[in-house]
Amino acid sequence: MHKIFYDAECPICVREIELIMQDSRAGFMEAVPIQGSEAVLAQYGITTEAALTYLHVLTDDGVMLQKMAAVRKMYEGYQGFALVKLANLPLLDKLADRLYPWFARHRYQFPKWLLPRPECEGGVCRIPPKERTKK
């Protein structure tokens, strides 16, 4: 079973995980909050800051994927999100690979109307991962 490590304090991340886990094909994945899983991620050389910034998926064969490779694995077989399917097309895949790091680093700055929930709990989604790891 693949393990998806996600930021449980990020409204966009939580909403995507909720949607994926509702899908009937979600049985091959386990959603694991980063918060409390830092030791597991550290075994793969992943810092807390990197984990909070980029998506990581541990495949069932023990390979740790990150960034767009992790996104592609997470949406593998999922029928609901056409944008990820487009990101797998030739030429667009390379563009997605380049754009994902920017999106991941700036997701906390998106306007409230784009977020799946009207308010961010405690303002956490407005605090960049780099700042949150300084606590």
pLDDT at 118: 44
Residue 3 host element (H or E): strand 2-6
Residue predicted with more confidence, 32 or 78? 32
Which pLDDT does position 76 carry in this prediction?
78
**Range 33-61 burial, b when 16+ CB lie within 10 A, else e:** ebeebbebbeeeebebebbbbbbbbbeee
25-29, 79-83, 120-124: segment of lowest average pLDDT = 120-124
Query: For residues 20 and 75, is the Cβ–Cβ distance under 8 A?
Result: yes
For the whole model, what pTM was predicted? 0.72
Distance separating alpha carbons of residues 57 and 76, to the nearest angstrom = 12
- The model's pLDDT over 20-72, given as tens digits with 9 standing for 90+, comes to 887 756 677 888 999 999 999 999 999 999 998 898 999 999 999 999 888 88
Q: Give me the DSSP letters along 65-87.
A: EETHHHHHHHHTT--S-HHHHHT
Is there a contact between 32 and 6 (Cβ–Cβ < 8 Å)? yes
Residue 12 has which token pair? 């966009």
3-state SS class at 2: strand
Nearest to residue 1, comparing CAs of 23, 30, 31, 24? 30
Higher pLDDT, 18 or 124: 18
Average pLDDT of the residues of the chain: 77
Q: How confident is the model at residue 131 (pLDDT cuts 50, 70, 90)?
A: low
Name the band, by pLDDT with cuts 50, 70 and 90, for residue 100: confident
How far apart CA 72 and CA 52 sit, in angstroms, is: 18
